[in-house]
Amino acid sequence: MKMPVFWKKAFFWVVFSLAAGGLSAWLTRDGLKRFETIAKPPLTPPRIVFPIAWSILLFMIGFGYAIIREKTADNAARDSATMVFAVQMVFFFCWMIWFFGLGWYGFAAIWLIGMIIAIAVMINFYRKISPAAAWLQVPYLLWCLFALYLNIGVWYLNR
């Protein structure tokens, strides 16, 4: 039995998103270890929560983008969807480098604000094409708002 085209594309975008997360984690692996030794704010979850949460979120990011690509026949709208997806992925990838890889906690917090704005723009853009795809991004936005609290707390406690 052949896999329908949408599911092949969805699989690709999910794997792409997970690979971006995996690569950023691999590139920052020493910083991830260092994260265990620094002061952290209250409500910081155990380390095991982060890869689980990010894996779920990256799955939803990739799947949401696949839905948008499937539902967008207009090339201009598809190009715009690709742009908002790519921009937030660049923000995500670089935030991992700034925060974990380089330990630039203050800069990472400012960058994370930009990432949150990019996610909000993505959600708004997706909402016009597929409310389901937009809703798939809401946990990502909420997690990043929580990450901003953690990021600012880490910066404040370790300055």
pLDDT in tens, the chain (159 residues): 456 888 999 999 999 999 999 999 999 989 888 888 999 999 999 989 999 999 999 999 999 999 999 988 888 888 898 999 999 999 999 999 999 999 999 999 999 999 999 999 999 999 999 999 999 999 999 999 999 999 999 999 999
- Measure the CA–CA gap between 61 and 49, rounded to whole angstroms: 18
pLDDT at position 5: 87
Cα gap 8→148, rounded to integer Å: 34
Query: By three-state DSSP, how is residue 21 classified?
Result: helix
pLDDT of residue 36: 87
Given CATH 1.20.1260.100, say whether it is the number of domain 5-157. Answer: yes
* 5 half-sphere exposure, CB direction, 13 A CA radius: 3
